[in-house]
Structure 1
Amino acid sequence: MEELLFYAFAALAISSALLVVSLKNTARALFLFFVTLFAMAGLFLFALADFVAITQILVYVGGVLILMIFAFMLSNKELLKDLQSTSSRFIAMPNIQSLLLSIAFLALMTYGIIAWQQQTPEWIMQNIKMNQVIQPTDNNISQLGVKFMTYYILPFEVISIFLLMALIGASQLSRKEGDE
């Protein structure tokens, strides 16, 4: 089951990332980017990097992507009108696809929850036998903070510059055509 979930998240991340760069519709590309970031957070969970997964969701989804969506909504009113007028029916082809994808994802999650409740995965049992289990009292956040500010200071600063560039890009996109 773990391998199935891992490959499902990996396939979702790869396919949605490929669609992000190949779509010409910016609104759909932004929402697929949202799916890509969540799939990457799922992959981080498989690497037992729960703090990185939560940071991925908070920083990238909560910050960068929301800024990009706001900039898009403020700058492309004609594209938003096209999206609203494409389908007047309740169930159109994209709605059916999204409904099928949602049902498949719900079924996969339900199966995963049921399978984990019935039997503990082998890799967890091996870690329990070797006494390598992270306890709730372990303070991993302070260890991560020390690592970020000592050993990983360069990647940490690169990420901060990336976030600054994303903020500047979002504000640039939200400007009107006549502003200089």
Structure 2
Amino acid sequence: METLLFYLFSVVAVGSAILLVSMKNIVRALFLFFVVLFSVAGLYVFALADFVAITQILVYVGGVLVLMLFAFMLSNKELLNQLQNGTSHFFALPVWQALFIAVSFLAVLVYTMVQATAYEPEWITASRDAGAIIRPTDNTVQHLGVHLMTHYLLPFEVVSVLLMMALIGAAHLTRKEDRI
């Protein structure tokens, strides 16, 4: 069952991402982005990174995607028409350039994967020998929550105030006023 769910999340994430970049309708693309982010959060759960999965949902889905929807709703209609009518191809690049970029990224990923499996860093082997391996029964969220609300409370609050200021600034810039 776990393998089936993993492949389901993977197919949904990759398929939605491919549809996302090929969409001309911005609203549908934003909702496909929503599906991609949730699928990636599901993949994080399978990687035993439960805190990252929850953060993915709270920060990206709850914050960034909603901000993008607000930016879309507050944007100028003529600008959106120009953006949607700008390209008539699958990508704005010619096909051979897009294919070259995709193959280059694939080559870098394969090279990195081969190097990582061939030459394992010392800190990984040392932690494996010491028995410091994350197991599915470990509760990492509790430890991260305690550190976030005790040792790192000030940086956490500073980041939240900066994000709120950015949101207020974006809303102020998009506000339409009568110019005198």
TM-score, with length taken from structure 1: 0.50
Q: Deviations over 1:2-37 (max 9, x none)?
A: xxxxxxxxxxxxxxxxxxxxxxxxx9xxxxxx9xxx
Q: How far did residue 111 of structure 1 move? A: 5.2
Q: Give the AA of the match of 2:61.
A: G
Q: How has the CA–CA distance of structure 1 residues 103 and 63 changed in structure 2, closer, same or farther, with 3 Å as cutoff?
A: farther
Q: How far did residue 53 of structure 1 move? A: 4.8
Match of 1:58 in 2: 57
Larger radius of gyration: 2
SS in 2 for 1:58: helix
Q: Give the AA of the match of 2:128.
A: I
Q: Deviations over 1:63-117 (max 9, x none)?
A: 333233223322132222222222234564276655544443344445555666x
SS in 1 for 2:84: helix
Q: Give the AA of the match of 2:120.
A: P
Tell whether the 8 Å contact from 1:148 to 1:156 is kept in structure 2 after alignment: yes
Match of 1:71 in 2: 70
Tell me if 1:130 matches 2:130: yes
Cα distance in 1, alignment partners of residues 69 and 140 from structure 2 = 34
Q: Give the AA of the match of 2:139.
A: N
Match of 2:93 in 1: 93
Q: How far did residue 149 of structure 1 move? A: 1.7
Aligned pairs for 1:97-112 (under 5 A) are 97-110=97-110, 112=112
Q: How far did residue 142 of structure 1 move? A: 0.6
SS in 2 for 1:93: coil
Q: How has the CA–CA distance of structure 1 residues 151 and 160 changed in structure 2, closer, same or farther, with 3 Å as cutoff?
A: same
Match of 1:13 in 2: none
Cα distance in 1, alignment partners of residues 169 and 142 from structure 2 = 32
Match of 1:121 in 2: 120
SS in 2 for 1:133: coil
TM-score, with length taken from structure 2: 0.50
Cα distance in 1, alignment partners of residues 105 and 53 from structure 2 = 20
Q: Deviations over 1:128-179 (max 9, x none)?
A: 123332333322211111112222221222233234335445555665556x
SS in 2 for 1:88: coil
Q: How has the CA–CA distance of structure 1 residues 91 and 167 changed in structure 2, closer, same or farther, with 3 Å as cutoff?
A: closer
Match of 2:152 in 1: 152
Cα distance in 2, alignment partners of residues 101 and 56 from structure 1 = 30
User: What are the ranges of 5 or more consecutive residues in structure 2 without an aligned counterpart?
Assistant: 1-25, 27-32, 38-43
Tell whether the 8 Å contact from 2:91 to 2:98 is kept in structure 1 after alignment: no
Tell whether the 8 Å contact from 1:64 to 1:163 is kept in structure 2 after alignment: no
Q: How has the CA–CA distance of structure 1 residues 90 and 137 changed in structure 2, closer, same or farther, with 3 Å as cutoff?
A: closer
Q: Give the AA of the match of 1:85.
A: N
Percentage identity across aligned positions? Answer: 37
Q: Which has the higher contact order (CA 8 A, sep 6+)?
A: 1
